[in-house]
Amino acid sequence: AQKVTQAQTEISVVEKEDVTLDCVYETRDTTYYLFWYKQPPSGELVFLIRRNSFDEQNEISGRYSWNFQKSTSSFNFTITASQVVDSAVYFCALSTAGAGSYQLTFGKGTKLSVIP
Amino acid sequence: NAGVTQTPKFQVLKTGQSMTLQCAQDMNHNSMYWYRQDPGMGLRLIYYSASEGTTDKGEVPNGYNVSRLNKREFSLRLESAAPSQTSVYFCASSEVGGYTGELFFGEGSRLTVL
């Protein structure tokens, strides 16, 4: 069975601080995908990034960066110079292909509050 | 391109009432899913449909039924609503044959059972 653990339930930072959201996953599959989604107060789920299990390169997109380490089964997300608009719940998720479909297993989410 | 469309957006039910949440996608995806989101619990899979004509239980299927009406539509039915089913429901779709396994989500349906 798949499992995703986001140990940080809530984080508060002051604007312009850097913040890292932790994600640890468990799976026995060798092929899998990792995701981060953002859920702003408006409620929709916004896709941020996808990584596959064969690509451990870190990725940077503007103020966002992701650190994927298979050795520790972690896929951490860092926001540099945080802004108020970054306030949201962030979900890490794991997808494996089984029985003809992908099943996305979510962590419980980390609520980030960026204080002006 | 509408993506994944869910109706209704909001619904209030009394205990014991029934209702159906509708979901349609226009991306020609094979797989569709229903998740529920509860505070502090993340999103949990209720049912999914790998392809037209098939449905399977997810993590929390009790109290729900689904119908994959055609390739576009996947409905979720509560036959006798209970307060424990108060939640936000998300429909999603994906293309198994693609590279990503990425799910595309609807905007969510907020259901309150009194």
For every residue of chain A, DSSP letters joined together read --EEE---SEEEEETT--EEE--EEE-S-SS-EEEEEEE-TT---EEEEEEETT----EEETTEEEEEEGGGTEEEEEESS--GGG-EEEEEEEEEEETTEEEEEE---EEEEEE-
Predicted confidence at residue A95, as pLDDT, reads 85
Cis, bond preceding B8 (omega within 30 deg of 0): yes
- Residues in chain B, total: 114
Predicted confidence at residue B101, as pLDDT, reads 63
Hey, are the CB atoms on A102 and B101 less than 8 Å from each other?
yes
β-pairing verdict for A59-61 and B10-13: unpaired
Predicted confidence at residue A98, as pLDDT, reads 59
Judged against a pLDDT cut of 70, whether residue A100 lies above it is answered with: no
Predicted confidence at residue B40, as pLDDT, reads 83
CA of A23 vs chain B CAs: smallest distance (Å)? 13
pLDDT along chain B (114 residues), means of 10: 90 96 94 92 91 90 96 96 97 73 88 96
Hey, are the CB atoms on B51 and A9 less than 8 Å from each other?
no
CA of B15 vs chain A CAs: smallest distance (Å)? 25
- Per-residue pLDDT tens over the stretch A13-25: 999 999 999 999 9
Residue B47 contacts residue A99 (beta carbons within 8 Å):
no
- Closest CA in chain A for residue B57: A103
Q: How far apart are CA B86 and CA B21, in angstroms?
A: 13
Mean pLDDT of chain A: 91
- Per-residue pLDDT tens over the stretch A27-47: 998 888 899 999 999 888 988
Predicted confidence at residue A21, as pLDDT, reads 98
Predicted confidence at residue B41, as pLDDT, reads 85
